[in-house]
Amino acid sequence: MSSIEIRTEIPGPRSRAWIERKERVVADAKALWVPVFVESAEGALVTDVDGNTFIDFAGGIGCLAVGHSNPAVTSAVQTQVARFLHTDFTIMPYDSYVELAEQLCRRLPITGPTKAAFFNSGAEAVENAVKIAKAATGRPAVIAFEGAFHGRTHMAMSLTSKQHPYKAGFGPFAPEVYRVAYPYEYRWPGGGDPSAEALDDLRRAFTTRIAPEAVAAIVIEPIQGEGGFVPAPAAYLRGLRELCDEHGIVLVADEVQTGFGRTGTLFAIEQSGIEPDLVCVAKSIAAGLPLSGVLGRAEIMDAPGDSAIGGTYVGNPVACVAALAVLEEIDRLGLCARAREIGEALSHRMRGVQSRLPQLGDVRGLGSMIGLEFVRDARTREPAPELATRVVEHALRHGLVLLKAGLYGNVIRNLAPLVITDEQLAEALDVLEAAIEHSVAAVTA
């Protein structure tokens, strides 16, 4: 039996009515990627106010590893709401904050004593990781990467690479932020070794851009998210770790989008065999409730002075109990292994498409975090954002919600809930394959 059910045109009449109301009172910057209003959602399925049911490969931009309306999470939240909503942990503390810190520190791929601090958003986690690294080292500078996305607050936006729509018109940015090459294998120029040459670029930066003894932290996504689901090769991460050790630089892994099982391990950095110093987490940590954290080596985490990091709502008790339930569900349902199964199915099907349609230039990723990069020409690899947009639009009309990414807007990314069933996955892949075939035919006609 089909999970997808499309009863109206997309958007339907009720969604269109809500869109008209939204346009009158909501800032224009809050444009709608999927122009349907949600009525209900469960697992990997979303039903809109017109009764259309979609398979969701967006997952709230990667927040729903354990699925929409996960019963264990919902139950934990309801119980906590009945107890109390808020005190601020540093004013009147509560057990769930401490228990969550214990659980996450126990799972961190870092040897030795570790500690945690919680915040609201991924951007806040990155901001605070930078503050913590500066406090620990006494240094002013931070290094980030081409293609990076770390959020929309001031420091996080400064670290972010893509100009439109994230940075243009919002400068000046935070000082002492320096950018180096990221080893983007599919687009690495000259056919050389991306890992070795990107490490050389970093070494040159220490001579031509910023002295290494002035660098507090290097912040890297193990797989770039908004940058196009681009994995950093393990060889590069190992070399990066060695350079950080050599120069006393704090290595920060931004796992906001990669964390909580999506790549086939709880944290993506585990697969490289290296240990970061700090890890930023958010998104799927609390199944969509606002919660983020910085986790890492105790001596670094303890560097800021009393009350130097914090905020009114950070580590909210409702979000903390949701996060504890998420961790239990990841273990109970074997979602790390499930992510690998999803990724294998998606990659196998899409590589079959790629063999027929060279406009699907690259299929890449780890676990279920698979990106599909579209090009106009397989030889020149000229980006084809208009083709990716056509695929997304065709898929939506046929009941599959997709998101784009990439510096050129030409990558489609998979952020499906890891609880998606085999039947739903097969149905979604049928729609995706048909959308690619239809869209390629339209642009090449």
SS3 label, residue 157 = helix
User: CA–CA separation, 253 vs 219, rounded Å?
Assistant: 6
Please classify residue 165 by burial: count the beta carbons closer than 10 Å to its beta carbon, then call 0-12 exposed, 13-18 middle and 19+ buried.
exposed
| C-beta separation of 116 from 294 below 8 A | yes
pLDDT confidence of residue 127 = 97
The DSSP bridge partners found for residue 293 are 118, 281
Q: Does a cis peptide bond (omega within 30 degrees of 0) precede residue 11?
A: yes
Q: Which two tokens stand for residue 47?
A: 């039903």
Residues 6+ apart with CB under 8 A from 445: none
Q: Which two tokens stand for residue 231?
A: 């994995």
pLDDT confidence of residue 190 = 87
Which of these, 308, 316, 295, 291, lies nearest to 124 by C-alpha position?
A: 291
pTM comes to 0.96
Residues 6+ apart with CB under 8 A from 402: 57, 58, 391, 392, 395, 396, 412, 432
Q: Does a cis peptide bond (omega within 30 degrees of 0) precede residue 175?
A: no
User: CA–CA separation, 65 vs 329, rounded Å?
Assistant: 10
DSSP 288-322: TSS-EEEEEEHHHHT-SPTTSS--SSTT-HHHHHH
Q: Which two tokens stand for residue 287?
A: 């199944």
SS3 label, residue 57 = coil
User: CA–CA separation, 3 vs 398, rounded Å?
Assistant: 12
In degrees and rounded to multiples of 5, residue 140 shows phi and psi of -95, -20
pLDDT confidence of residue 74 = 98
**Tokens 């000046």 — which residue?**
172
The DSSP bridge partners found for residue 115 are 296
pLDDT confidence of residue 162 = 87
Domains, the chain, ordered by start: 13-56+334-444 (3.90.1150.10), 72-332 (3.40.640.10)
Q: Which two tokens stand for residue 390?
A: 């056509």
| C-beta separation of 305 from 141 below 8 A | no
Give the helix ranges, DSSP H, for 84-144: 95-107, 122-137
pLDDT confidence of residue 276 = 98
pLDDT confidence of residue 1 = 83
Low-confidence ranges of the chain (pLDDT < 50): none
| C-beta separation of 301 from 117 below 8 A | yes
Q: Does a cis peptide bond (omega within 30 degrees of 0) precede residue 35?
A: no
Find the farthest-apart pair of alpha carbons in the chain and give their distance in angstroms, rounded. 65
Give the rounded distance of the alpha carbon of 162 from its chain centre. Answer: 15
User: CA–CA separation, 133 vs 244, rounded Å?
Assistant: 12
Residues 6+ apart with CB under 8 A from 207: none
pLDDT confidence of residue 163 = 87
pLDDT confidence of residue 445 = 78
Rg over alpha carbons for the chain, rounded to the nearest Å, is 22
Strands 278-281 and 250-254: parallel
Which of these, 242, 240, 248, 245, lies nearest to 220 by C-alpha position?
A: 240
